[in-house]
Amino acid sequence: MAGVTFSNLSKSYGNVPVVKALDLTLKSGEFTVLLGPSGCGKTTLLRMLAGLEEVTEGEIAIDGRVVTDLHASERDIAMVFQSYALYPHLDVAGNIGFPLEVRGLPKSEIAAKVRSVAGMLGLLELLTRKPKQLSGGQRQRVALGRAMVRDPKVFLFDEPLSNLDANMREEMRSELIRFHRETGKSIVYVTHDQVEAMTMAQRIIVMRQGSIQQNGTPFEIYKQPKNDFVAQFVGSPGMNILDTDFAGCLRLGGAPLTVPAGFDLSGGQVAKLGIRPEDIRLGTSATTEASLSFPVRLVDVQPLGATMIIDLKTVGGNLPLIALAEWRDPGISPNSEIEVVVPISAVHKFAADGVRIC
């Protein structure tokens, strides 16, 4: 089985660094997601691994073998590109089966493999269509199928679900998880969608501006974000980050905040408090847990169905705060003041440079 190692890997375009001295080992057989905002270097990293982009410095190894200078065709990887292209003259079956055709596999074997993959991707009805007779989402699934028929050391997927509607994306996420479970292959999957990352990954690598921010399981990334960037990027909506300062006491956007006993301010190092929207309780509901509580103003409510997003502003500091709660009548009207309560066990603390304080 094939693990992947990047050692001191850098890539610059001219003077502009886009991947910066990256050290990373991906475990064999793991479903790894590279997650980060647009332009952070995800595709560049994947293309270097695939052998489609030269590295500026450093080394890449697959399965313990250094591949940095090997041609793409010698690396035994299958890749689905962010901007994929299908063969226009081949139908869906021909496109999916193409890599097997090239390897000269018997026709019956190709047909069986194509049907199996097309079944997973919901393409069985479309096998005789040409690409121009397909929707964007259907074409994207064909591109996915063309990789999935293969048996490489590592699968590389670059935003393979970006053109699908919400329902189809959910379905495909399940299929990819099943595909991974059944094949046991190493998968490196690129996305900027944190929901995709959380639902599919065994390991998430959060990137920003060409550097790794955190490498952990979805649980670790969500529960113990290493810095305020990861905290805000992961979660839907992301974590609230509230600026604090000290002037005799802890203040939230300038307004004094009473902290209960047991709330460690780490000698005044705490510069930002992080609160997940789902950890905010509205109103002074009785709680036995030690909690922070402070007044807020209701700005707006956005129903999502099962839940609702509640836009708030802190009173005094006027800091924006987002809460997530079961959808119901919040029982208050815009501009009215209520108290929010947050158990201190749910409050994350960050220093001025954004690094988590445990």
Which positions touch ligand ATP (CB under 6 A)? Answer: 13, 18, 36, 38-44, 82, 192
User: What distance lies between CA 108 and its chain's CA centroid?
Assistant: 39
Q: Where are the alpha helices (DSSP H) in 14-157?
A: 42-50, 92-102, 107-120, 136-148
Nearer of residues 18 and 96 to ligand ATP, judged by Cβ: 18
**Closest residue to Mg ion in the complex (CB):** 43
DSSP secondary structure letters along 15-42:
TEEEEEEEEEEE-TT-EEEEE--TTSSH
Identify what 301 binds: ligand ATP, Mg ion, none; CB under 5 to 8 Å per kind: none
Q: Quick one: 38 or 108, whose CB is closer to ligand ATP?
A: 38
Among 43, 194, 291, 314, binds Mg ion (CB under 5 A): 43
Please, which residue, 82 or 163, has the CB nearer to Mg ion? Answer: 82
Q: Which residues of 301-325 are buried (b: 16+ CB within 10 A; e: fewer)?
A: beeeeeebbbbbbbbbbebebbbbb
Residue 68 Ramachandran class (φ > 0 left, ψ -120 to 50 alpha, else beta): alpha
How far apart (Å, rounded) are the C-alpha atoms in residues 253 and 160?
A: 42
Site for Mg ion in 182-221 (CB under 5 A): none
Rounded distance, CA 137 to CA 143, Å? 10
Least distance between Mg ion and beta carbon 332 (Å): 43
**CB 94, min distance to ligand ATP, A:** 29
Binding mask 71-100 for Mg ion (x = CB under 5 A): -----------x------------------
CA distance 196 to 307: 20
Whole-number minimum distance, CB 208 to Mg ion, in Å? 14
Contact partner at residue 87 from ligand ATP, Mg ion, none, CB < 5 to 8 Å by partner kind: none
Where does this chain bind Mg ion (CB under 5 A)? 43, 82
